[in-house]
Structure 1
Amino acid sequence: MKIDTHPQYADVNVKCSCGNEFTTRSTRGGAISLELCNECHPFFTGKQKLVDTGGRVERFNKRYGARTNAPARPE
C-alpha cells in the first residue's frame, strides 16, 4: 500500500455572522467565517416566507389555471 494516501485532518473553528461558533474538522485547517448557519438561516428557524415576484403566480393561474383536460380525439 502507498504511504500517506489519506489527507491530514485538523480542527477548524467556524464562526457565523450571527455569533454562533462551533468546531469541525477539515483538511484545510485554520478558521472559516460564514454568513449563515443553521441557527440563523430562515429555513431552519421557521421564519421562511414565500416571495411572489410581481404576481407571477397569479398571472400563471390566470393563464393556465382554468384549463381542463383536452377533449377526446375522434377516431
Structure 2
Amino acid sequence: MPKPEIHPKWYPDAKVICNGEVVMTIGSTQPELNVDVWSGNHPFFTGTQKILDTEGRVDRFMKKYGMGSANSATSKEQKEKKDSKK
C-alpha cells in the first residue's frame, strides 16, 4: 500500500499556455505550464523546417555512403576501384 501524503497534488486538467493562449490541457503536478514552443508552432511539426548545411555535412555524408542521385556515378566508380584492389 502506498504511503499517504507523500505524493504531489495531481491536476488532471492542467493548462498548457504558449504566448498567452491556452493551447491544450494535460495532467500534471502543476496547475499551469508556460511553454515557448509546442507542436502547433514548432517548425518540425508545421512543415517549415529548413535544413541548414553550411559546412557540407549532408553532401559529405551522402558521398561517404554512396547515397543520392548527384553522387551516385562517383560512388559507383569508387566502389569499382575498391573492388578491383581486393
Which TM-score band (shorter chain)?
0.5 to 0.7
Partner of 2:24: 22
Partner of 1:48: 49
Distance 2:22 2:33 in 1: 12
- SS of equivalent residue, structure 1 residue 14: strand
The question of whether the paired residues in 1 share the 8 Å contact of 2:16 and 2:34 is answered with yes
Distance 2:22 2:39 in 1: 9
Structure 1 stretches of 5 or more lacking a match?
A: none
Identity of aligned residues (%): 29
Cα shift at 1:18: 7.5
TM-score with structure 2 length normalisation? Answer: 0.55
* Greater fraction of residues in helix: 2
Partner of 1:71: 83
Distance 2:22 2:2 in 1: 40
Q: Runs ≥4 in structure 1, deviation > 4 angstroms?
A: 1-4
The question of whether the paired residues in 2 share the 8 Å contact of 1:20 and 1:39 is answered with no
**CA offset digits 1:16-49 (Å, max 9, x no partner):** 13745221111x1221111111110111111111
Distance 1:2 1:56 in 2: 52
Distance 1:18 1:45 in 2: 20
Query: Number of residues paired by the alignment?
Result: 71
